[in-house]
Amino acid sequence: MRPGRAEGGIISPALFSLYAKDMRLSSRHFELDLYMHDTAVIAKFCQTALLLKYLETYLSDLERWLSEWRIVMKVSKRSAMLFTKAVRRTPTPRPVQLFTEPIRWVDTARYLRMTIDKQLPWSTHIDHVRKKAVHRLGTLGLLLNCRSSLSIRNGVLLYKQLISPMMDYAYHVWRPAARSHIRKMPVIHSKCLRVATINPCYICKKQIHNDLVVATLPTISYH
């Protein structure tokens, strides 16, 4: 099978699956996660120096594989992150290289539409999702207001289709976050429903959820 197949071909997905499976790991300490256009290489070591040594070996093998299949990778878009249980600030490791270009070490990164930070508090991801939800609610402001002729049923449908899935995405991943962060999400949920149903502020949010039979996050409780 020859490399360099043009994108958009009928058998292009099948060809990609075949040669992506050929990405052999150079060490049993590494785990390769492939999902669509997102790829992650995960390694677990007790010593940072040993981690860098094996990582450089793996990147050398990856260079040969990419060159063999004529795949161009933008190294400037790649990043590395060091997860540690240490409370104190960990020194930044020395940079590793791919095709003679350094891969930068970062504190936060985007993977599968999630914002991951090195201590895994998930606060950055939750704040990012909240801002996106508020922005999307503002975009729908012409439809979701007291002067709009849109029915309450259709307003709730817009919430369920355009806002709720975005906020609940990968919930089981960031669920272990601190309660102080988790509590920020139902606030936005309730605000969106209140706007969609044109309910005044004195209406209890629990009543709005019960009347609309709208499921909330599993950890949400009302008092």
DSSP structure string for 30-74: EEEEEETTEEEEEE--S-HHHHHHHHHHHHHHHHHHHHHTT----
DSSP structure string for 113-141: TEEEETT---HHHHHHHHHHHHHHHHHGG
Task: Write the pLDDT tens digit of every residue in 114-146.
Answer: 999 988 889 999 999 999 999 999 999 888 888
Enter the tokens of residue 118.
Answer: 């090195």
Per-residue pLDDT for 75 more than 70?
yes
Task: Write the pLDDT tens digit of every residue in 29-41.
Answer: 788 887 767 888 8
Per-residue pLDDT for 113 more than 70?
yes
- Cβ atoms within 10 A of the Cβ of 59, count? 17
- Does an H or E element contain 184, and which? helix 184-197
Per-residue pLDDT for 13 more than 70?
yes
pLDDT at 134: 93
Q: Cβ distance 165 to 219 under 8 Å?
A: no
β-pair partners for 109? 116
Per-residue pLDDT for 149 more than 90?
no
Per-residue pLDDT for 221 more than 80?
no
Q: pLDDT band for position 101 (50/70/90)?
A: very high
Which amino acid type is present at position 52?
L
Q: What backbone torsions phi and psi does residue 190 show, to the nearest 5 degrees?
A: -65, -40
Per-residue pLDDT for 223 more than 50?
no
Per-residue pLDDT for 83 more than 60?
yes
Query: What is the rounded distance in angstroms from the CA atom of residue 88 to the CA atom of residue 80?
Result: 19
Give the residue from 129, 87, 78, 126 showing the smallest Cα distance to 106.
78
Cα 108–chain centre separation: 11
Range of weakest confidence among 1-15, 35-49, 73-87? 1-15
- Cβ atoms within 10 A of the Cβ of 55, count? 21
pLDDT at 122: 92
Q: Which sequence spans correspond to the domains of the chain?
A: 12-106, 119-212
pLDDT at 80: 92
Q: What backbone torsions phi and psi does residue 206 show, to the nearest 5 degrees?
A: -65, -40
Hey, is 179 helix, strand or coil? Answer: helix
Per-residue pLDDT for 211 more than 60?
yes
Residue scoring higher pLDDT (102 or 71): 102
Per-residue pLDDT for 65 more than 90?
no
Query: What is the rounded distance in angstroms from the CA atom of residue 24 to the CA atom of residue 62?
Result: 9
Q: pLDDT band for position 220 (50/70/90)?
A: very low
Hey, is 193 helix, strand or coil? Answer: helix
pLDDT at 222: 38
Enter the tokens of residue 150.
Answer: 């849109």
